[in-house]
């Protein structure tokens, strides 16, 4: 590094390497003044109602254009703008003499405070409320809402955070990479960037030094942003970027290490649409089929027949291939009125996942019955797993019900330390396990995976997390049963090699990550992966573990 270069570090998303000029996201609109309205209350209510409706429609239109996960996020934001309780709050404030824009600001702020107090996923969504409020207020004022800078030349976007409505419709020919000071690897920004294949670095707390026009190198594989790079460094980065792209394009076929050891590379999907993207990316099957899309935003659970149709639509896209279905994972960040308890002080540690399903066994049985019926009419190799297993007893209960309805391959997710440490006993009962590294990391480090203030702790490279994964891998080897990874860690190409060294037999990820992971694991033998794993395990923190693995081999 030359003396003029400055290194800013965050958490990388993907393996992209980009050189470009910085453009910063504009600041939000100023807080509306607390003044008495000069209009009638009826006029102000019309202004607010119209702006809320137009904002909701705009968000839905953006969702249709973006598709995939982005559509789900934007539809959820549109529901916020359409919320009748929010409109009632706005109306009440206007009738007390406030302006439409100030009433909207205060109403959204009140809702955001409630969501912040709830913690977890709800707290993260509170930040999204601020963006929706900005868009509504801009419409009331007749001005443009802050958004992605307009440009005809490519740039690297730097922001405090990026609203889902902006991330969803980024022009990837113009925005070459994304840097945010807030958020972690499982924030909505990171998830959408990963889905779109956009190189990103999140949680880069020192990125405030970056200003418009700065030339930077963004390396998502290391999480480094190099400010004022020397000419030689830029040339080196451009060559490395070409090399990575060539390796990515040349990586095809099943997942295989350089010694021939096979590791199934699967995709995470949440609908038949995302399943099509997985097929296009040469996924060898599905390692995580999220079924929540059938249940969220409903007052009652869908019927067996309705569920069967949706499951069959996904199964039929993978003839002869594995499809791992996760039964409904509700609670904490995904409350459902007909399933989860209201008023829990800490829902992340309450009745969620399998606990909620076993408390409402009829819903679980209906879902398993629908899956079994869909399985009977497809050639896909369907496996089923339960979320948030903590004990052997929960495993026995779930597997028992699966057997009753005719499901032959029943497994569980390892997402909390207790199940990782009991993996040998759990695998005596279950046919397989799949490790959800997002939740395993947050519960191991006691750090909310969606809270920006503790994003630095949400890192699956932490040796404590890796040691728990090794326990599961050893249990899989002893019982000769499959151990998969379906968390975001599987999409980190270097970490993927380490995970294989820890005993993992399959990796499931966003379809856009498959090519990078396929290329990376092909560079190593199984013996080398095990050596990498030992180096990472012996580290004292996540940074050292990542560095030890990254520098161990120079293929």
Residues 6+ apart with CB under 8 A from 245: none
Same domain, 104 and 10: no
In terms of Cα–Cα distance, which of 168, 219, 171, 308 is closest to 19? Answer: 219
Catalytic residue among 188, 228, 261, 425: 188
Residue 473 lies in a domain: yes
Q: How many Å apart are CA 406 and CA 290, to the nearest integer?
A: 21
Q: How many Å apart are CA 279 and CA 511, to the nearest integer?
A: 8
In terms of Cα–Cα distance, which of 525, 530, 528, 479 is closest to 503? Answer: 530
In terms of Cα–Cα distance, which of 220, 216, 229, 179 is closest to 21? Answer: 216
In terms of Cα–Cα distance, which of 390, 391, 430, 423 is closest to 407? Answer: 430
Domains of the chain: total: 3
* CATH code for position 64: 1.10.274.10
Same domain, 446 and 518: yes
Same domain, 330 and 398: yes
365's enclosing H/E stretch is helix 361-375
How many contiguous H segments (helices) and E segments (strands) does the chain have? 21, 16
pLDDT at 313: 95
Q: What are phi and psi of 130, to 5 degrees?
A: -60, -40
Tell me the pairing of strands 215-219 and 224-227. Answer: antiparallel
Same domain, 84 and 158: no
Same domain, 273 and 240: no
DSSP state of 165: H
* CATH code for position 317: 3.20.20.60
Structure-token match 């459902």, residue found: 336
Q: Hey, what are 460's tokens?
A: 């699956």
Q: How many Å apart are CA 475 and CA 465, to the nearest integer?
A: 16
Q: Among positive and negative, which fits the CA dihedral 184, 216, 164, 489?
A: negative
Contact of 291 with 367, CB cutoff 8 Å: yes
Residue 32 lies in a domain: no
Same domain, 158 and 276: no
Q: Hey, what are 357's tokens?
A: 């399903």
Same domain, 256 and 210: no
Catalytic residue among 261, 360, 425, 486: 486
pLDDT at 124: 59
Q: How many Å apart are CA 23 and CA 21, to the nearest integer?
A: 7
pLDDT at 338: 59
DSSP state of 209: G
Half-sphere exposure of 199 (CA within 13 A, CB side): 26
Residue 30 lies in a domain: no
Contact of 243 with 473, CB cutoff 8 Å: no
Residue 35 lies in a domain: no
In terms of Cα–Cα distance, which of 169, 172, 150 is closest to 59? Answer: 169
Q: Hey, what are 522's tokens?
A: 């092909």
Same domain, 17 and 48: no
Alpha-carbon torsion, ordered 121, 455, 286, 427, to 10 deg: -90
pLDDT at 517: 93
Residue 10 lies in a domain: yes
Residue 146 lies in a domain: no
Same domain, 216 and 260: no
Alpha-carbon torsion, ordered 505, 509, 513, 515, to 10 deg: 40
* pTM, 2 dp: 0.73
Contact of 301 with 338, CB cutoff 8 Å: yes
In terms of Cα–Cα distance, which of 421, 428, 413 is closest to 479? Answer: 428
pLDDT at 440: 96
Of the candidates 230, 247, 264, which is a domain's last residue?
247
486 is catalytic: yes
Same domain, 278 and 134: no
Contact of 419 with 446, CB cutoff 8 Å: no
Q: Work out the angle at residue 268's Cα, subtended by the Cα atoms of residues 526 and 487, and round it to the nearest 5 degrees.
A: 60
Contact of 70 with 170, CB cutoff 8 Å: no
Same domain, 114 and 96: yes
Q: Hey, what are 144's tokens?
A: 């443009």
* CATH code for position 203: 3.50.30.10
Same domain, 77 and 15: no
Contact of 471 with 477, CB cutoff 8 Å: no
Q: Hey, what are 20's tokens?
A: 């470009």
DSSP letters for 522-550: TTS-HHHHHHHHHHHHT-SSHHHHHHHHH
Q: How many Å apart are CA 419 and CA 441, to the nearest integer?
A: 13
Q: Which domain holds residue 419?
A: 251-552
Three-state secondary-structure class, residue 27? coil
Q: Among positive and negative, which fits the CA dihedral 244, 249, 255, 261?
A: negative
Q: How many Å apart are CA 90 and CA 102, to the nearest integer?
A: 9
In terms of Cα–Cα distance, which of 45, 4, 127, 117 is closest to 346? Answer: 117
Structure-token match 């509504």, residue found: 136
392's enclosing H/E stretch is helix 392-405
410's enclosing H/E stretch is strand 410-414
Full pLDDT tens readout for the chain, 555 residues:
555 889 999 888 878 899 999 999 887 788 999 888 899 999 999 999 999 999 999 889 888 887 776 787 788 888 888 889 999 999 999 999 999 999 999 999 998 888 776 655 566 566 678 888 989 999 999 987 777 887 889 999 999 888 777 777 688 889 999 999 887 766 777 777 877 788 999 889 899 999 999 999 999 988 899 999 999 999 999 999 998 888 877 778 899 999 999 999 999 998 888 898 899 989 999 999 999 888 876 777 889 999 999 999 999 999 999 999 999 987 555 556 656 556 666 677 877 889 989 998 999 999 999 999 999 999 999 999 999 999 999 999 999 999 999 999 999 999 999 999 999 999 999 999 999 998 999 999 998 766 656 767 888 999 999 999 999 999 999 999 999 999 889 988 889 999 999 999 999 998 988 998 999 999 999 999 999 999 999 999 998 998 888 765 444
């Amino acid at each position: 590094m030359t003396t003029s270069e400055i290194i800013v570090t965050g958490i990388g998303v993907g393996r992209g390497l980009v050189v470009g000029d910085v453009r910063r996201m504009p600041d939000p609109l100023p807080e509306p003044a607390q003044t008495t309205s000069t209009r009638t209350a009826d006029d102000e209510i019309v202004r607010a109602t119209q702006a809320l409706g137009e904002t909701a429609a705009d968000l839905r239109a953006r969702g249709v254009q973006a598709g995939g996960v982005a559509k789900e996020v934007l539809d959820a934001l549109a529901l916020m703008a359409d919320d009748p309780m929010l409109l009632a709050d706005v109306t009440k404030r206007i009738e007390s003499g406030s302006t439409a824009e100030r009433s909207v600001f205060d109403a959204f702020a009140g809702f955001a405070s409630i969501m912040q107090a709830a913690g977890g996923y709800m707290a993260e969504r509170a930040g999204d409320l601020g963006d929706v409020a900005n868009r509504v207020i801009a419409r009331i004022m007749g001005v443009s809402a802050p958004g992605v800078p307009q440009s005809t030349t490519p740039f690297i976007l730097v922001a405090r955070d990026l609203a889902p409505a902006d991330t969803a419709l980024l022009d990837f020919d113009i925005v070459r990479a994304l840097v945010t000071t807030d958020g972690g690897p499982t924030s909505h920004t990171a998830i959408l960037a990963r889905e779109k294949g956009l190189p990103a670095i999140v949680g880069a707390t020192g990125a405030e030094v970056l200003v418009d026009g700065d030339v930077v190198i963004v390396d998502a594989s290391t999480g480094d942003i190099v400010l004022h790079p020397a000419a030689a460094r830029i040339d080196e980065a451009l060559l490395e970027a070409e090399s990575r792209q060539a390796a990515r394009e040349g990586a095809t076929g099943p997942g295989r290490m350089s010694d021939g050891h096979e590791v199934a590379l699967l995709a995470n999907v949440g609908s038949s649409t995302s399943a099509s993207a997985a097929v296009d990316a040469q996924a060898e099957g599905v390692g995580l089929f999220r079924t929540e899309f059938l249940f969220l935003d409903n007052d009652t659970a869908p019927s067996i027949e309705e569920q069967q149709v949706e499951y069959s639509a996904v199964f039929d896209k993978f003839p002869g291939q594995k499809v791992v279905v996760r039964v409904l994972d509700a609670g904490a960040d995904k409350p459902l009125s007909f399933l989860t308890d209201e008023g829990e002080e800490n829902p992340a540690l309450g009745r969620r996942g399998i606990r909620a399903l076993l408390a409402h066994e009829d819903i679980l049985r209906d879902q398993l019955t629908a899956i079994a019926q869909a399985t009977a009419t497809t050639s896909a190799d369907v496996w089923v797993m339960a979320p948030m297993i903590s004990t052997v007893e929960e495993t026995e209960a779930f597997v028992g019900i699966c057997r009753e309805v005719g499901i032959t391959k029943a497994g569980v997710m390892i997402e909390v330390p207790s199940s990782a440490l009991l993996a040998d006993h759990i695998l005596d009962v279950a046919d397989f396990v799949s490790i959800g590294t997002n939740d395993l990391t947050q519960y191991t480090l006691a750090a909310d995976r969606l809270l920006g203030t503790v994003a630095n702790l949400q890192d699956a490279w932490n040796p404590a997390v890796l040691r728990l994964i090794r326990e599961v891998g050893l249990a899989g080897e002893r019982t000769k049963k499959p151990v998969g990874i379906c968390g975001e860690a599987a999409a980190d190409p270097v970490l993927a090699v380490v995970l294989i060294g820890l005993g993992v037999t399959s990796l499931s990820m966003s379809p856009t990550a498959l090519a990078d992971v396929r290329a990376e694991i092909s560079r190593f033998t199984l013996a080398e992966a095990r050596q990498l794993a030992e180096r990472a395990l012996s580290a004292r923190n996540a940074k050292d573990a990542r560095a030890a693995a990254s520098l161990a081999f120079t293929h």
